[in-house]
Structure 1
Amino acid sequence: MTPKTRPKDWEPLAGSDPTPGDPEGVRASGKTMATTGEQIREQIARLKAIADTDELKGKYVEELKKGSDKLKSKLEKAAGRYEKVSSKLTEWAGCLEEAQSETARALTSAKEAQDTFRALVGTTDLDSDAAKKAEKDLVATKKAELERARTTFENAKRRNSRAVEEYGNDARRIADKIRDIIDDAVEDGFWSWFSNLIERNLKAIKIVLEVAGWVATILAAVALVIMIAALFMVPGAGWLAAMAIMMKIGTAIAIASTVTHVAMAATGNGGWGDVVFDVVGLLTMRMGTVAGRGIKKGADAARQASVKAGRQQAKDVKTTQAYKDKMSKFEADKAAAPNKRVRDAIQKQQDAYKKSQKPKGAAQDLPNPSPKEVLKAGGDRDLAANLKYAQNEAVKRAGDPATNAAARSASRNGTLAFGTFVGGTLIDWTDKTIAPSDVVEEKPKVGPYGDLKDWTPVNTGMSDYAP
């Protein structure tokens, strides 16, 4: 039943068509979308042929292949959208067609029942006084006929209501599915706009990232020069502050670079290899920070253990027989002294002996590390001083398990700090040496390394089209 053949008068079931629409029009829209999907598939096949061919020659070929492969991925999502929506529109047309047939049949039944009402009681309002009076005068067979018509009329209303409700549920379900398909495959929202923003400015973004990376490397190199100078002299506070600022700027650049590379890779405009490289760099920085904290924690533990061990050593000295004998001799000499002057002299000797037997206390100040010790601590003079402090206290309390354990912990973190410093520097400098450049295209590079950094899984990308 087409819209042109649908009833105009829907009394007594509704004021207007309860299930309006054109099933054939909806079905035709679905076919159009399916055809569009097929046409897109044809273009995908052509792009695949471009990406896979080995016949093209010239500088432009690699970029053309990459562009074709990237566009192919986007078109596959678009084709999928058209094909899935086409299927849902076809389903929608069927639901609408069925609902319209059901409501039309219900209307026919209702009108036939009303015709019977008029023939038997002269009105369609069975609750009116005239209808009730007329019903009393009917013979039994006519009363039964009227009751059957009443039942038919009520069933028609229920049939119409049920058809409208079921169609409403089907329509909402299919509409939700279509929205999910549109939002899932190729979203025309923020992510789509964001992806295209990156793609349109990709060259500039890559240049900014490369320049920022070189800025970070240069700052690290300057900080390294300051650190090397600090190996042989005690730099002023201004130099140390400058080095700290440089390292903070370098860390901020590394974090910003990581976030940008993640956005590029997630939208299909960059490689996850760059992200992995950035994450390794950040982890190296983080490990260096953790190692520094470990050194200071070890130094604090060594100080506490040294104080405790020193107190125990002092107690142990007083319990030795040699110490007791010496103290007894001093006391006997003082008792036999002929006068106060002699007793005071003996007392001074006794005090000097006590002091000589007393273990050294834990150092209050950090020692001054040598250049070699600074290097072993990752180039940080303060960390080197803490590491040397822990090691000195372990030597002082030779044999004390707690002090030795604290010193070993500080030493392990010192090794970690040195390793992260050397490793991070080597990774960064190696990358700058062999990675391809977006600023200087003629820069020497190692092809496989560049390919590794550009690595992207199949169908990477969150969105595709700008609104």
Structure 2
Amino acid sequence: MTDTAIEIRTQITRLRALSDGTGLKGDYADALQDGADRLRDKLGKVADRYEAVAVKVSAWAEAVEDAQHQTAAAHRAATAAHDIITPLDALPEADLTPTQKSDLDHARASLIRAQAAFDGAVGDYESDARRLSGAIEDLLDDSLEDSCWSWTSNLLERNAAWINEALEIIGWIATVVAIAAVLIACAPTAPAWLALAASWAIAGAEAATYGTALVHTALAATGNGTWADVGLDVVAILTLRMGKAAEQGVTAGVDATRVASRQAAKDAVSAARAEQSGARQEIARELRNRSIAKPRRQFLEGQLKRMNARARAAAKYPSQHEPEVSAADVFNAGGSRESAVSRKINAHELAKHADNPAVQEVTRRAESHAVRNQQAFVVGSTADLADKSLGSSGIFERKPSVKPYDDAKNSLRFHTSWLDPDIGSPINARAQT
């Protein structure tokens, strides 16, 4: 086992030289260096184990050899005693000479001592065996095979190829679903069931984004993926959350705008009637005169009706009808038809009450949410489409890609050693105990 450990150490030295990249050129260099570095670390753990176990096995071999020597000596002594005892036991005791009796007694005592020596050697061997086997089991029960991290890392490494392909397929599906949802939102005559299906598809794509982020993080942490993919997933999640929050702000802003617009309309009626107050009092005073001529009374009553109509005309109450929106309006609203409708309603109400501070304030807040929704939509879509356009593909082999972009992403592919409890496992320290 010691020779095996020495050979492994030799291979580790060669792998270290290979991972340093000396003389390596071409597209394979980075992948080869990364693989050599990872294999070097694993072989280092194997060599540590071999060296530590070799110490214990050598000690066990010494215990076996000692036991063999002691039991062999006891067997020889017992055989010699047996050879003396057997013929003397066959004679009658009365026929034994004093010398024969003495030899028989010494042979029997020698046989007892040989049995005790044999039993002691076997007992010592069994004790050493239990102690050394326990020590070896402790050495084997290490992170090289029992760590949850190692198990997960090895599992991901063995399946990294098809996992990355599956993640890419899911990413393309999510992109297609998002584009389809925007197109459906832009269509003015899309049936309700299609819009509902699009909303469910978007929810599924969002859930897939969270799952993809978790898997990408696991791959990157174990050195089987790049942290650039994790960063893109984070951008996607953040823009999704920001877009949802902004869209809710736009929708809430519509309700606030309508409340402010309704109050502005009531204030306008009150102001118009206040302006007509003097004329109204004069007409009322004259109408109270019962001697007024009928034509004059009719004229005054008509004038009062016209004044009421002008006051009511000053009231610009908010419309409850949904305005028409174009595809451009939907796209500018971050791909949400609801946000596009809300923005147009806000614009209409602001145009009716351009001089009202309350309406101006609520429409300004609603518009700020609409702008954030648009920004989140643009940032998320740009990052996703740029990655799919510039990066290489594991499922579309002939897809064109930009090599510097792939190189930049691969530069963020490294093993996060501070997450790995297996690195620096003190096997040698335990081997000395």
TM-score, normalised on structure 1?
Answer: 0.62
Identity %: 35
Q: From 45, 61, 72, give the equivalent of 2:13.
A: 45
Structure 2: distance between partners of 1:42 and 1:341: 123
The residue type equivalent to 2:277 in the other structure is: K
Q: Deviations over 1:223-282 (max 9, x none)?
A: 233234x2xx33221232232233223222222211110111122221111100111111
Task: Choose the corresponding residue for 1:413, options 364, 369, 374.
Answer: 369
Q: In structure 1, what is the equivalent of residue 360 of structure 2?
A: 404
Q: Partner residue of 1:64?
A: 32
Runs of 5+ in structure 1 lacking a partner?
1-31, 90-174
Matched, 1:307 2:271: no
Question: For 1:281, which of 204, 216, 236 is the aligned residue?
Answer: 236
Between 444-453 and 382-391, the greater mean CA deviation after superposition: 444-453
Partner of 2:413: 456
Which of 383, 392, 410 aligns to 1:436? It is 392
Report the alpha carbon displacement of residue 303 of structure 1 after superposing the two structures with TM. 2.0
Q: Matched residues in 2 for 1:220 and 1:448: separation? A: 28
1:79 and 1:293 map into 2 onto residues whose CA distance is 60
- For residues 205 and 394 of structure 1, do their structure 2 counterparts lie closer, same or farther at Cα, with a shift above 3 Å needed? same
TM-score under structure 2 length normalisation: 0.67
- The range that moved more, 333-342 or 300-309, is 333-342
What aligned pairs does 1:93-132 form with structure 2 within 5 A after superposition?
A: none
Cross-structure match for 1:298: 253
1:40 and 1:305, CA in 2 relative to 1: closer, same or farther beyond 3 A? farther
One-letter amino acid of the structure 2 residue matched with residue 50 of structure 1? L
Tell me the number of residue pairs that the alignment of Structure 1 and Structure 2 aligns: 336
CA apart distance, 1:348: 5.5
Q: Is the 8 A contact 1:287 1:420 kept in 2?
A: yes
Aligned with 1:198: secondary structure?
A: helix
Greater relative contact order, per chain length (Cα 8 Å cut-off, separation 6+): 2
Whether 2:328 is the aligned partner of 1:375: answer no
Q: 1:63 to 1:345 in 2, by over 3 A?
A: same
Distance 1:283 1:82 in 2: 49
1:441: how far off? 3.6
Q: 1:71 to 1:464 in 2, by over 3 A?
A: farther
For residues 46 and 237 of structure 1, do their structure 2 counterparts lie closer, same or farther at Cα, with a shift above 3 Å needed?
same
Cα-to-partner distance string for 1:98-143 (whole Å, 9 max, x where unaligned): xxxxxxxxxxxxxxxxxxxxxxxxxxxxxxxxxxxxxxxxxxxxxx
User: What is the deviation of 1:59?
Assistant: 6.3
Given candidates 440, 446, 450, the residue that maps to 2:402 is 446
Q: Does the Cα contact within 8 Å between 2:222 and 2:415 map onto a contact in 1?
A: no
Q: Which residue of 1 aligns with 2:180?
A: 222
The within-5 A match list for 1:7-406 is: 42-56=10-24, 61-75=29-43, 188-228=146-186, 230=187, 233-320=188-275, 323-336=276-289, 338=292, 343=297, 346-347=300-301, 349-358=303-312, 359-406=315-362
State the distance in 2 between where 1:409 and 1:370 align: 23
Contact 1:73 1:459 (C-alpha < 8 Å) held by counterparts = no
Q: 1:463 to 1:438 in 2, by over 3 A?
A: farther
The AA in structure 2 aligned to 1:456 is: R
Q: Distance in 2 between matches of 1:79 and 1:400?
A: 81
For residues 251 and 190 of structure 1, the distance between their equivalents in structure 2, rounded to whole angstroms, comes to 29
Matched-pair contact (CA < 8 Å) for 1:187–1:463: no
Q: Partners of 1:195 and 1:270 in 2: how far apart?
A: 11
